[in-house]
Amino acid sequence: MAGSPKKRARRERAAAKADPLDETYVAPRPPLDAIPWNKVELTDDGRQAVGAALLQGYPRNQIAKALGTTVKTLKRLIDDDPLLGDAIDVRRDAEEAELRDILMGLARNGDTVAAIFLGKSQFGWRDRDDAKMKLEATGGGVLVVPGTMPLDEWSSAAARQQAQFREAPPAVVEQMAEGEAEAKRANAPHTGSPGIEGLRLVKPTR
């Protein structure tokens, strides 16, 4: 017997699933050959071999193993050689461009998550007003777009947020009033002191 329809349907669904063995196989990078190095400086051939390994995306520990040295020493060699530093930058730019193309392709196919991530990482977009976000004013700015809300609610929120910049604190208002009163007293005309006509004041002597 072929079994019940439910079991037959389960067998058909299992057979329809993709076989992992049918997936595209990506062969690992072959191990690096030994790179000659005199423990002092790289020769031209050694520099080209290290640069080619960096361009191919080999991790630094494998390159250091091919040189017979440590990752720390390899990092020092790269820092001291502008050509090797350029090789790292070229590889990083190529990987970034490839990843950007992948995300752009996903976004064009309707993947909103990829589109949002691309907008945030490449263009500095933000999808909400995050109170913990620190905005840097130097070298440009970041546009923080609030969530969708009615216009009157947004106007009220904006008025509350801007009130601190339109109204001075009570202490400042009181200080300004005291300053104005003091200025009026200092600038008031002097009318003299009342006295008795014909009376002469004499300073007593000791």
**Band of the pLDDT at 76, cuts 50, 70, 90?**
very high
Q: What is the pLDDT of residue 128?
A: 61
As a whole number of angstroms, the distance between CA 83 and CA 96 comes to 20
Mean pLDDT (whole number) for 60-73: 92
pLDDT over threshold 60, residue 16:
no
Mean pLDDT highest for which of 6-15, 50-59, 110-119, 123-132? Answer: 50-59
pLDDT over threshold 80, residue 61:
yes
pLDDT > 90 in the chain, percent: 24
More confident residue, 137 or 109: 109
**Band of the pLDDT at 39, cuts 50, 70, 90?**
confident
- The four Cα atoms 152, 155, 156, 161 give a dihedral, to 10 degrees, of 160
- Predicted model pTM: 0.46
pLDDT over threshold 90, residue 63:
yes
By mean pLDDT, which of 1-5, 113-117, 184-188 is the weakest? Answer: 1-5
The pLDDT tens digits of the residues spanning 144-203 come to 555 666 777 877 877 777 776 666 677 777 888 888 888 887 776 655 555 555 556 556
pLDDT over threshold 80, residue 49:
yes
